[in-house]
Each structure stands twice: as C-alpha cells, then as structure tokens.
Amino acid sequence: MVAADTARPLVGVLALQGGVEEHIAVLESLGAETRRVRLPKDLDGLDGIILPGGESSAIDKLARSFGVAEPLRRAVEGGLPVLATCAGLIYSARELENPAPGQQTLGLIDVTVRRNAFGNQRFSEERIVPVAMQGQWPDVETSEVGPRRTESRDTETNGEGPGSITLDIEASFIRAPIVTRVGEGVEVIATVPAPAPDTVTGGAAGEDSAACKDGAEHDGELTHPSAGHEVIVGVRQGHVTALSFHPEENGDSRLHAAWLASFAH
C-alpha cells in the first residue's frame, strides 16, 4: 500500500479507543500525513499504521463491532508496517497468558504476552529504555527532541537493506504488559529489569490510566519473573514492531522517526 504523496507518508492510527491523539501529534510533527482508522475503508492507501495504548479488550471488541479487525489483519499480512504500543502489543500478539473473557487478538506477531505485568496504576513509572530500531537515519541523527546519548549504527552484513540504531527512549510504563515467549523469527529489541513481585498485583477496576488502561480484574494467578531479571518489552517480526510502553508521552519523536524511516522513502 503506497500513498499518493510518497514524500509524506500516510500513517493511520487505530482510533477506536485509547491514546490516539498523542501519536497523531508526534507523526504530524515529523511531517507525516495522518488518518484516524475506524472502518475498513480507512485502511485504503496507508503506508503504515499505529496500534495505540488503551484498553486492549475494548479495542478488540470495537474493532470487531466496526468490522475493521479482519481487514486490518489482512492489510498487515499483505505488508502494511505496524508500530504497536502497550495495549497495541497485546492486540498484536498471537497468544495472551491472561486474557479477559472472550478477548481476541490479531495474531500479527508470534509472541505470548502477559497483561498488566507492571502492576496497577500506582506502580506505573518512567524508565530510559534502549530500543534497537531499523531504518535510514539522517532525520533521526539530527533530531533535537528528547534525551539523547551517542547512538550506534550497524548495517546488515551484506551491506543492503536498512541499518539498525539503538535509541535511549524515555518510556512510560502504564499498567504495561511484558512478552513472556518469543517465537521463531521474532527479534527482541528492548528489555528492562523485571518489576518487583509485590508491584505486580491486580488493581481494582477504575484504576486504569487514560493512556493504557488495560483492566487487571481478569489477571488470575500468574508466576511472575524475579525482580532484577530482564523482561522483554520490545519485539519485532518482519514489518511489525511492538512495544510494552508509551514512546509518545514524553516529547521524544525519535522512535517514531526511526519507524517512519524504516519504510518511508
């Protein structure tokens, strides 16, 4: 799918529920055209799509109700690039450890995800997370937005295709999920120390945040990773990049810029 104006990529944001406007603002600050996606026709001509944070079970129900779930799945299977954040990671996963009753996912990336792995709202936090991204880097390297450190680039061994860059991103973890299993062909692009076990508890209904309010009332009994061990918070498989956290919350556009650079020419 290629937009008419290849100089300005046309990027959709799934706009059924959740943190839509923050992604729209970042994309437009980078010069991209944007479209709020609610119906199947909204997928036409997109160069990429963002699946934002919110309530993953609500996004699932609304996507099926509006008839956009299957067309979205087919578009991604046909090559549409995806950036999924927080609830978007949950919605993209092949499998959930602790789904809400009747909850379905798109199965875009071969991972298992645990909802609300960072506990309830009072344990939400911000961390600096190194994230390995792909793309062409002039715009990223000259960006003055957000915290920076020296960034590293590695081109592929055959000298073709996009290189990779590690960005230190100030990330918001808001009732965030983690990836507990990665399938064949899935690349881990970000990890952080596991949250302390006493923070990983199901919160009461109504404690959800506006940005990624994934309800915890259906979590059930889980085995939690030991505090201090690394847990997976970012994965990539093909043209689908999925993150546990919110890169759009803290005024740093570099991750979005790198994602755009991976497919926009």
* Catalytically annotated residue among 22, 97, 248, 249: 248
Q: Is 248 a catalytic residue?
A: yes
* Catalytically annotated residue among 23, 224, 246, 256: 246
* Catalytically annotated residue among 22, 23, 55, 86: 86
Produce one character per residue of 59-86: b if its CB has 16 or more CB atoms within 10 Å, e if not. bbbbbeeeebbebbbebbeeebbbbbbb
Residue 90 has phi, psi (to 5 degrees) of -60, -45
Contact 166, 131 (CB under 8 A): yes
Q: How far apart are CA 62 and CA 55, in angstroms?
A: 11
The H-assigned helical ranges of the chain are 20-29, 56-65, 69-77, 87-92, 138-141, 254-261
Q: Is 86 a catalytic residue?
A: yes
Q: Is 212 a catalytic residue?
A: no
| CA 13 from centre of chain | 12
Q: How far apart are CA 220 and CA 160, in angstroms?
A: 47
* Number of other CB atoms surrounding residue 143 within 10 Å: 17
* Number of other CB atoms surrounding residue 185 within 10 Å: 10
Q: Angle 56-65/69-77 helices, nearest 10 degrees?
A: 100
CA dihedral 86, 90, 93, 99 (to 10 degrees): 160
Residues with active-site annotation: 86, 246, 248
